[in-house]
Structure 1
Amino acid sequence: MHPFWNFTVKIVPKWLAPNVLTFAGFLFTVGNGLLLTIYDKDFCGSSDDYKWCPPVPAWVWLACAVSHFLAHTLDGIDGKHARRTNSSGPLGELMDHGLDSWTALFIPFCIYSIFGRADFSESPLRMLFIFWTIFLTFYLSHWEKYNTGILYLPWSYDASQIALFSMYLITYFGSYKYWKFVVPVLNITSGRLFELISYVGSFVVSAPVTVYNVYSCKHLKQPTFWESFRPLVPLIVLFSTTSGWAAFSPNNVIDREPRTFYFMVGTVFANIACRLIVSQMSSTRCEAVNWFLLPLAVTVMAVTTLPMSERQEVLLLRMNSLLFCLLHIHYGVCVVRQMCEHFRINCFSLKKRDDSEEAVSLGKVKI
């Protein structure tokens, strides 16, 4: 994609801050998630087994294709634009990768609507583990940098983004029925094939290479095995806790509110990933315990041990999702503001801060 991006970045005005491109690209991805939530709340629109669910309008798939293409392009040119305007720095890296950690939620969030949750596809519980293959692949790349100082992003990432763009267009022109087929020879459905590809891509291709790169590195940044393993602890706890809730929910809450459940898991994951990114950027020790996991653990214990109605469990799920969303946004805003104050820059402007602006931001001057 670099030849196309090298051409496209020349169109961007030089007065525009690179972080504007980064944030706009993220909003396009969020927009796709919101659009499909409105028209396909329970992932039933592409499943013929749910006769009462109307299919997603064709124009939605076209809108998703355009938004996805724009998001991928903006994500590809923001760094080039930063170097073009001599504004590269840690804040841009944090904005880019930090928002990408939340984007890791919204991409499968939208893909699942293409296949639906029933015929020729997979159940919401099995889809949760496909989400985790994407989360793991993203997280391990930053875990690798935390230990080696090198961030390796393979070309397969661009290939997957182009494939998703193509899937949106195919669904627009051919409808969701295009994806209802059984794979010859293997005799598996299209949904099961997508699941296998996800597992192979994560556990056979990405994870082993990352682990090899870390433990074959002669100059690890972390002094001991425990210190190198430390960032994986909150990820393992999040996986165990949320998978346990989904599997042992007395009211099968992931079937009742799949989008809310995925959003909650993806938001907590994004916070864990952002804290790892901050640690590897600043060469500081990564936290072994993310405090977001404490209310989540209490909720899961309550749900799985106390008598609880479906309405009560769904309410707890929604409350957790809203709480984690607000807390994660608060965390991100605070970190960005602190970095802006430290480097004396503005997040969404190339204009440098002067001393009076810095004093106001620190509360030393009243307006």
Structure 2
Amino acid sequence: MLGINALLLIYVSTLFHCGTTLACQLPDSISMVCSLLYFAWIIFDNLDGKQARRTQASTPLGLIYDHQSDALEITVMATFFGIISLFGNSPYTIAIWTTAAIHCYFENWEALYTNSYSMSSNKYLFVGMLALIYTALGSEFFINTMVFQTELRMLVFYGFCSWVSIEVLIRIFNVLMKSSNKMEAFMNLGSLFYIIFCVVVVLVFSPVGLAYAGTREFVLFLGFIFAREMGFLQLAHVSNSEYEPLNIPNYILLSLLMFNTSCHAWGFPLLDEYNLLCFLLLFAGLSYLHFIYSVTKEITKELNIPILTNLQRKIQSV
């Protein structure tokens, strides 16, 4: 919980100083504080993992919350890097989120179908160091420094995408070599591809350019969708049950956004694109919170940990 609070402080800090836009420049002091908060999250996350392995006291609920923290970290840091890299309200910020989400999904996908974790914990240290370097040298340094006639920030972006591509290929190879359910594993990648498809549709067909007009809102919307999907992936892993990709609320929310965007592109506008995005964002957040509540309630009931039961009794007594 301390780690999640650190991530929330980072997001709230960027929201307080920049509002809904990402086209702003954070004060150096705020950028430094956010970078240090990210390192605090890394420390808390590693301590939690090492403690669980040392005591062998890992619980299904703990595993789900741990990986939910990883899923939320993607949205927070994609927003933060969109600001400090001065990509701002642009498709590049959305591309940062998408690339990081692909990496996170394939990590957990491999774990589900090979029953072995090969998480690259060094990635978090790399992200934290990159945030500190951006803060220390300044965003303008990465824009004005040209290497092979290319901005340094673009080389960093291309390097990040290349590294994720290599990692994904390695994890696909591991599943091919170790999994006994190869066909099921690859069929269940449909949920990730549907999210990516939604991103492509909005980037290509949105007449008002949601990638520019509502970058923060779109990334947050995708973040709630992705975190919920990751929750179902982890739930299947810890309960040894079948993973059902693209749960109904996620499918409906993504489809509504794509349908409205397509109607605008075809010349049949139904609802204002930005207003609909904000409306769907609200429902995506509520859907995610409902998932967290439901999973917590079911697992604590199964493990005879009456946390929510006692809470409900206290509320009723009041």
Same fold (TM over 0.5): yes
Identity %: 18
C-alpha separation in 2, matches of 1:137 and 1:175: 27
**2:143 is the counterpart of 1:187:** no
* Match of residue 35 from structure 2: 65
Greater fraction of residues in helix: 2
Deviations 1:75-113 (A, max 9, x none): 111123345666422211111012211212111111111
- Determine the C-alpha separation between the residues in 1 that align with 2:58 and 2:227: 23
Give the distance between the partners of 1:43 and 1:362, measured in 2 at CA: 40
Superposed CA RMSD in Å reads: 2.4
Listed as ranges, the matches of 1:84-123 within 5 Å are 87-117=57-87
- Distance, in Å, in 1 between the alignment partners of 2:31 and 2:56 is 37
Change (3 A) 1:176 1:192: closer
1:255, distance to aligned residue in structure 2 (A) = 0.4
For residues 213 and 258 of structure 1, what CA distance do their matches in structure 2 show?
A: 35
Establish whether residue 280 from structure 1 lines up as the match of residue 246 from structure 2: no
1:216 corresponding residue in structure 2: 177
SS at structure 2 position matched to 1:216? helix
Q: When the two structures are superposed, what TM-score results if normalisation uses the length of structure 1? A: 0.77
* Cα distance change of structure 1 residues 35 and 332 upon mapping to structure 2, 3 Å threshold: same
State the match for 1:334 in structure 2.
294
Q: State the number of aligned residues.
A: 310
SS in 2 for 1:35: helix
Q: CA deviation at 1:362?
A: 9.0
Query: Which residue identity does 1:208 align to in structure 2?
Result: L
Q: Which residue matches 1:5?
A: none
| Residue 7 (structure 1) aligns with | none
1:361 shift after superposition: 7.2
**Is the Cα contact below 8 Å between 2:32 and 2:132 reproduced in 1?**
no
Range with bigger deviation, 294-303 or 70-79: 294-303
In the TM superposition, 1:119-134 aligns within 5 A as 124-134=90-100
Separation of aligned partners in 2, 1:362 and 1:58: 45
**Offset of residue 58 of structure 1:** 2.3
The CA deviation at 1:72 is: 1.1
TM-score after normalising by structure 2: 0.88
Gaps of 5+ in 2: none
**Contact preservation (8 Å) 1:109, 1:259:** yes
Matches within 5 A, 1:159-198: 159-167=125-133, 170-171=134-135, 173-184=136-147, 186-198=148-160
**Which residue is 1:25 aligned to?**
3
Match of 1:296 in 2: 254
Deviation at 1:70, TM superposition (A): 1.1
Distance 1:155 1:84, change over 3 A: closer
Q: Distance in 1 between matches of 2:152 and 2:21?
A: 20
What is the CA–CA distance in structure 2 between the aligned matches of 1:273 and 1:235, rounded to whole Å?
Answer: 10
For the pair shown, the structure with the greater C-alpha radius of gyration is 1
Contact 1:36 1:110 in 2 (8 A): yes
- Go from structure 1 to structure 2 and tell me whether the alpha carbon gap of 1:230 and 1:187 turns closer, same or farther (over 3 Å shift): same
Q: Which amino acid aligns with 2:213?
A: R
Q: CA deviation digits over 1:227-279, x for unaligned, max 9?
A: 11133111111110232022210111220111001111121111111111111
Match in the other structure for 1:48: none
User: Structure 2 CA distance, aligned partners of 1:270 and 1:193?
Assistant: 29
2:23 to 28, 35, 44: 44
CA distance in 2, matches of 1:114, 1:346: 44
Match for 1:187: what amino acid? Q
Q: 1:213-292 maps to which residues of 2 (within 5 A)?
A: 213-217=174-178, 220-222=179-181, 225-291=182-248, 292=250
Which whole-Å CA distance do the structure 1 matches of 2:312 and 2:33 have between them? Answer: 42
CA distance in structure 2 between the partners assigned to 1:92 and 1:134 by the alignment: 23
Is the aligned partner of 1:207 residue 2:185?
Answer: no
Deviation at 1:57, TM superposition (A): 1.9
Match of 1:16 in 2: none
Structure 1 unpaired stretches of 5+: 1-22, 46-54, 348-356
Alignment partner of 1:180: what SS? helix
- Provide the rounded CA distance (Å) in 2 between the counterparts of 1:320 and 1:142: 26
Cα offset for 1:64?
0.5
Give the C-alpha shift of residue 71 in structure 1.
Answer: 1.0
| Whole-angstrom distance in 2 between the partners of 1:109 and 1:343 | 37
Aligned to 1:351: none
Contact 2:205 2:261 in 1 (8 A): no
